[in-house]
Amino acid sequence: QVQLVESGGRLVQAGGSLSLSCAASGRTVSTYAMGWFRQAPGKERELVAGISGNAVTTVYTDSVKGRFTISRGNAKNTVYLQMNSLKPEDTAVYYCAARPFVGVVRSTTMYSYWGQGTQVTVSS
């Protein structure tokens, strides 16, 4: 019954910025840990950033640390990914995901619910 709806993906030039949003609905989804993942053609899906259900803990993959920021709205049912200093290698389909636990983890298989994905393309 948990649904995740992503928005914000588009074409952007290298060095630019972009914000992604994930609107989550469900009985207790506001307490779930959530994450942003991405998958480029021919590559495995990887965690980009994650945030705990109480929004006090965040994790990032090394390649985006210092450039990307994950956050939750006050109601905890919306998750954002602010992306700055974008690089062509950031090009991928970005997915929002959730797991029915407070703690955030890095493994893709630990997340139960997924959005449809939104395309981010960074041009040179």
Tokens of 91: 């090009």
Mean pLDDT by 10 residues, the chain (124 residues): 96 98 93 97 96 96 98 92 98 98 96 98 97
What does the pLDDT read at residue 1?
Answer: 83
Alpha carbons within 13 angstroms on the beta-carbon side of residue 70 total: 27
How far CA 89 is from CA of 30, 41, 85, 107, 123, in Å, comes to 31, 11, 11, 21, 9
- The confidence score (pLDDT) of residue 104 equals 96
Question: Amino acid identity, residue 124?
Answer: S
Strand order in the sheet with 3-7: 3-7, 18-25, 78-83, 68-72
Q: Can you give the pLDDT at residue 75?
A: 86
pLDDT of residue 118: 98
Per-residue confidence (pLDDT) for residue 76, from 0 to 100:
85
| Predicted local confidence at residue 15, as pLDDT | 98
pLDDT for 74 equals 85
